[in-house]
Every structure is written in C-alpha cells, then in structure tokens.
Amino acid sequence: MNVMNELTFPIAPFGVRLGTRLEGKGAREKLLVTLESIPEPGRLIVSLDGVEVLSGSFADETIALSCARLATGEYGDRYLVVRSPSLEIAEDLSHKLERRHLAMFCLIDGRIEVLGQLAFPMRETLELVNKLKETTAKELSELLGIRHNACLHRVGKLTELRLIRREEIGSAGPHRAYRLFSVIYT
Amino acid sequence: MMRLTVDTIDQVIEVIISKESVRLDLTGVGFIDPYSLLLLVLCLRYRQMFGSPLAVRWPVRKDALGWMRAMGFFAEIDDPKRTWRSEASSRSDALQPITHITREDSVSRLVNAFDKRLHERYPLTDEARNALVKIMFELFQNIPQHSNATGEVSDPYGLAAMQDYTDSIFLAVADMGIGLARSLSTRKDLMDLSDGSALNRIVYDGLSRFSDPGRGGELRRIAQLVRRWDGLLIIRSGEALLYMDAERGDIYDAPYFPGVQIGLRLSRRVFGIDSPMVDNGAFL
C-alpha cells in the first residue's frame, strides 16, 4: 500500500517577497530540518501560498538546492513537492531546476505541473505512474510499448529525481523487480 | 542643451578619468539620466581616490541642478561616507534618490523602499511590479555577492537610483568593484577573458564565477525580459559596454572604468501606466 507521511513547509513566514540568497540559505536550513523530521516514506509540501515574489536566487538557495541534496539520496525515502498559487510565482524556481537538471512536482489549484527539466519520454512515463498510482516496470513497459530495459532506464531516472518511489520486490530473470509508486497520489 | 544619457556619458567619462583633465564643464547640461548620474558620482569619487579632484562647473539650468540635488548627488560627492537614505525627496520629480548598497542583509529593505516609492506614485499592475522587484533583488544582491569577490576592493559598495519619465521608468545600479571579467577570472577555466568576452558570456551564456550550475543566469534572464518588454538594457564593465534593446544586443568598446554599471529603461506601458508620450525630459 502506498501510504506516505506528510508535512507542509510554508515559505511565506520568511516574507512575501523573497529575493536574496542569504535569506534563502536560512530558509533552506529550516526546510531540511523539517524534511528530516518526517518519518520515511515522507513527503514535504513546500507551500508558496501567500508569496508574491520568489526570485531565482532565493528559489535556488532554498528549494532547488534542497532538491539537489534529496536527489543524492541523503534524505532517504523522502520527497519534496511544491504547492503554488500560480505557475508565474514558481517560474524562476523552474528555471533554476532546469539549470541543475532537476525536476519537481508543483501543485497548482488541483492541477499538477512539473517544474524544471524533464524530457518528453520521462514526462510520459511519470504521467502513467501517477495515473496508475502503483505499478511495476513490466506493466509500464507494456503500456508504453517500449523495451523493458528502456523502461528501467526511465524509471531509474525518475527515481533519482525523486519524482516516483521505487521499492525492490525481488528479481525477474536478470533484472531486479520493483514496485513503483506515485509520490503525488498516495 | 547637452544631455548626459547612456548614449553620451562615455565622452564625459573619458575626460574625467584622463589624468590630464583638471576641470569638467557641465554648464550646458540640461538633462541627466540615473545611469549617467551614478557614473558621474563614481567617476568623481575615482578622481578623489587618486588625489586629483576635478574642478567641476555645474549645470546652469535650475531644473537639471535641482534634480541632481533632489537625487542626493551633491550630498553624495560631498560626503561619500554617508549611510544609505530612503527618505522621500521634497521635490516631486525625483523618484528614488541615490541609495547605497553595501550588505546583502539590507537588500530586501532597499528593494521594498524602491518598490514603495514607485507604487506611491503609480497604481502598478501586480505582474509588472513583481517582475521589477525580482530584477531589483538580483541586481542589488549582485553588488555584495560579486563586486568584491576577490577581496581586493578596500571600500566595496554600490549605488542605485530610479527615475520616472513621461515614457519610461529608469533604474540604475552601479559599483566600482572588480568588474565582470575579474569576477569570472576566479574560475580557472575563465581566467583570461577580456571585458567584452566576460560580458558576452554572462549575458548570453548565463555564466557566473561559480561552477555550480544553479548560480548565475540572472543577467541573462533580465536581458530576456528587457527584450520581451521592448526596453533598453545597458551593462558596462571595464572597457566593454552592452547596449541591448528589443531589436539588437551589441557589445562595444568603451573608455575604461572599474566595476559594473547597469541602466535599465522600461516603457511605462509595461507597468500598466497609460500616459501620453510627450517629450518632457523623456528619451524620445
């Protein structure tokens, strides 16, 4: 069963107009402490509600750098998701994620966007995982009509970016078998 | 009437920084833009630093002289150690007087002060207002973050000012720091760039002195916005000057001056300010 612990980290207490790296660094330290406090598997919703301006510098220092550290596996089975009142507010964050070759989910008024850099085949796979909520690489490769190895590559990349959750469930022939979970629909 | 603007100020700089010059005649000047005003302050201070102050004849036109005074120009050159000011000018035609930027932890306060001043004068659209706030955040914090990255500047600081015209809003930010090429030279792979190449790599490739890919790219983003908004962007560093508008972006040779100086002119239409395009000190 795909159950995740969740906390929300509001950015607005740091200011409604967020601009400098110095301020961003202070916010990042608090964000990472909160992230680490969530039992695994855990999801931290970084809320931009109430924020009017999020500069590229602040966004990079607070959110993109946290996302980069998450991608190294430093925070275990935990995930970051942004919630924003509009795509415009998260625009500079998306640009910074792109520069870092990272991607993040952004929840906007019930809709899901992917911020940052994610090629079409990855987006296609990600959308399918979200639709199925829980699946396997075998099922995915069949539904996508691609080779199993190609599917494993996509799944590996999406896992590395912390956009899906992967649990090893044994092996299937020469390959490891994984159960894949959406980090949004839990 | 002589106009000191982004198009003419380099002629004055050449005179000021020449060691042979002993006096500067500005009597015929009837108009100065904020970019030229900040460069004038820094150039005069540059001369003072080298122990060779210039005798300056100031503009005779009362409106030009009055605007310079309202922008804090004379206080600035008389007492460069003053701390930053943000009091509203008593003259209604000076939008945001010359303001000092020294520390990153004061940048938010300064940006909010600039924004408040603009907002008090105009009912700006949220979109335009927030976009300008983002630009100010990036330009202002560049000074404490980059202008003295090597630690070789004894008194690092920057200046900012803003003025509105009948057709546009003009923001200027300037420092006398190490400049773009020296800043990039702290990276081993970018050690020998000329001023022009450094400007080019920063504005078009989004490079910064950090190899971290998340750093840098801000001036490139600003340049893209300026183009989209049909504005004008001037970036001057060392011996190079970028002149960018909606149609072109060229880098020219310029008389040497230390640091980075930036002028940003945006049409009032961008801010949702609908006003007639009459020439009253505007850039027509």
State in words which class domain A1-117 has.
alpha beta
More confident residue, B86 or A22: A22
Q: Which residues contact B244 (CB under 8 A, 6 or more apart)?
A: B203, B223, B226, B227, B232, B233, B234, B235, B250
pLDDT of residue B128: 82
Closest residue, chain A, to B207 (C-alpha): A99
B101, B114 contact by CB (below 8 A) = no
Q: Which two tokens stand for residue A28?
A: 């990042």
CB contact under 8 A, B213 and A56: no
DSSP 3-state helix, strand, coil percentages of chain A (rounded to 5)?
A: 40, 30, 30
- In chain B the first and final C-alpha atoms are separated, in Å, by 15
CA–centroid distance for B131 within its chain: 18
Residue B60 CB neighbours (<10 A): 12
Q: Give phi and psi for A166, each to the nearest 5.
A: -130, 130
Q: Please tell me if residue A64 touches chain B, with a CB cutoff of 8 Å.
A: yes
Identify all chain A residues contacting B124, using CB atoms and an 8 Å cutoff.
none
- Residue B219 region, left (φ>0) first, then alpha (ψ -120 to 50), else beta? alpha
CA B123 – CA B126 distance, rounded (Å): 9
For chain A, domain boundaries: 1-117, 118-186
Q: What is the pLDDT of residue B152?
A: 82
Task: Name the residue of chain A whose CA is nearest to B143's CA.
Answer: A20
Where does the pLDDT of residue A24 fall: very low under 50, low under 70, confident under 90, or very high at 90 and above?
Answer: very high
Query: How much is the pTM?
Result: 0.90
Cα separation, A96 vs A67, in Å, equals 11
Q: What is the pLDDT of residues A68-110, one digit of tens each?
A: 999 999 999 999 999 999 999 999 999 999 999 999 999 999 8
Residues paired with B133 in a beta bridge: none
Q: What is the pLDDT of residue B109?
A: 94
Residues B61 and B31: their CA atoms lie apart, in Å, by 9
Does residue B93 contact residue B62 with C-beta atoms inside 8 Å?
A: no
For residue B129, give the amino acid letter: R
* Chain B residues within an 8 Å CB radius of A62: none
Facing A55 at nearest CB: one of B112, B134, B215: B134
Give the three-state DSSP class for B88: coil
pLDDT of the residue at B78: 78
| Neighbour tally for B217: CB within 10 Å | 24
A136 touching B, CB under 8 A? Answer: no
- Look at residue A156 and give its three-state secondary structure: helix
Residue A101 in contact with partner chain B when CB distance is under 8 A: yes
> Is the Cβ of B127 closer than 8 Å to some Cβ of chain A?
yes
Question: Which pLDDT score, from 0 to 100, does residue A75 have?
Answer: 96
Q: Are strands B96-101 and B29-32 parallel, antiparallel or unpaired?
A: unpaired
- pLDDT of amino acid B91: 47
Architecture field, domain A118-186 = Orthogonal Bundle (1.10)
What are the residue ranges in chain B where pLDDT is below 70?
1, 79-92, 273-284
SS3 B229: coil
* pLDDT value for A18: 95
How many other β-carbons are positioned within 10 Å of the β-carbon of residue B265?
24
In Å, how far are A42, A160, A180 from A146, measured between CA atoms? 31, 20, 17
**pLDDT at position B275:** 55
Contact across the interface for A20 and B108, Cβ inside 8 Å:
yes
User: Cβ separation of B141 and A57 shorter than 8 Å?
Assistant: yes
